[in-house]
Amino acid sequence: MSSSTRPGTFLLTFMTLCTLLGLGCPLSCEVCKGSGPTCSGKLKTCDAGKDACVVLVGESSTKGQHSVNTYKACMKFSDCYSGFVSTTMSPKDYMVSNAHCCQSDGCNRGSVPPPQNNRTENGLLCPACIAPFQETCPGTQAARCVGQETHCIYFAGNVQAGIFNTKFATRGCATESACHTKVGAEVPSASYLYFLRRADCLPAPQPPGRAE
Ligand SMILES: *[C@@H]1O[C@H](CO)[C@@H](O)[C@H](O)[C@H]1NC(C)=O
Alpha-carbon distance 77 to 72, whole Å?
A: 14
Give buried/exposed letters for 89-117 (b at 16+ CB in 10 A, else e): bbeebbbbbbbbbbeebebbeebbebbeb
In DSSP terms, which residues pair with 54 in a beta bridge? 73, 101
Ligand 1, from 84, 96, 118, 151: best to mutate by most atoms within 8 Å of Cβ?
118
Atom of ligand 1 nearest to the CA of 118: 1
pLDDT in tens, the chain (212 residues): 444 445 555 555 555 666 666 666 789 999 999 999 999 999 999 999 899 999 999 999 999 999 999 999 999 999 999 999 999 999 999 999 999 999 999 999 999 999 999 999 999 999 999 999 999 999 899 999 999 999 999 999 999 988 889 999 999 999 999 999 888 898 888 778 999 999 999 999 988 765 44
Please report the pLDDT score of residue 54 as a whole number. Answer: 96
For residue 187, how far is its CA from the centre of ligand 1 (angstroms)? 27
Q: What angle do CA 163, 178, 62 make, to 5 degrees?
A: 50
For residue 146, how far is its CA from the centre of ligand 1 (angstroms)? 8
Please report the pLDDT score of residue 3 as a whole number. Answer: 44
Domains annotated for the chain, with CATH where assigned, are 26-203 (2.10.60.10)
Please report the pLDDT score of residue 72 as a whole number. Answer: 96
Please report the pLDDT score of residue 30 as a whole number. Answer: 97
Please report the pLDDT score of residue 5 as a whole number. Answer: 47
pTM for this entry: 0.85
- The DSSP H or E segment spanning 126 is strand 121-132
Which residues approach ligand 1 with their CB closer than 6 A? 118, 120, 122, 147
Longest dimension (CA), the chain: 81
Please report the pLDDT score of residue 6 as a whole number. Answer: 56
What percent of the chain is helix, strand and coil (3-state, nearest 5)? 15, 50, 40
For residue 122, how far is its CA from the centre of ligand 1 (angstroms)? 8
Atom of ligand 1 nearest to the CA of 149: 5
For residue 178, how far is its CA from the centre of ligand 1 (angstroms)? 18
Helices (H), the chain: 2-20
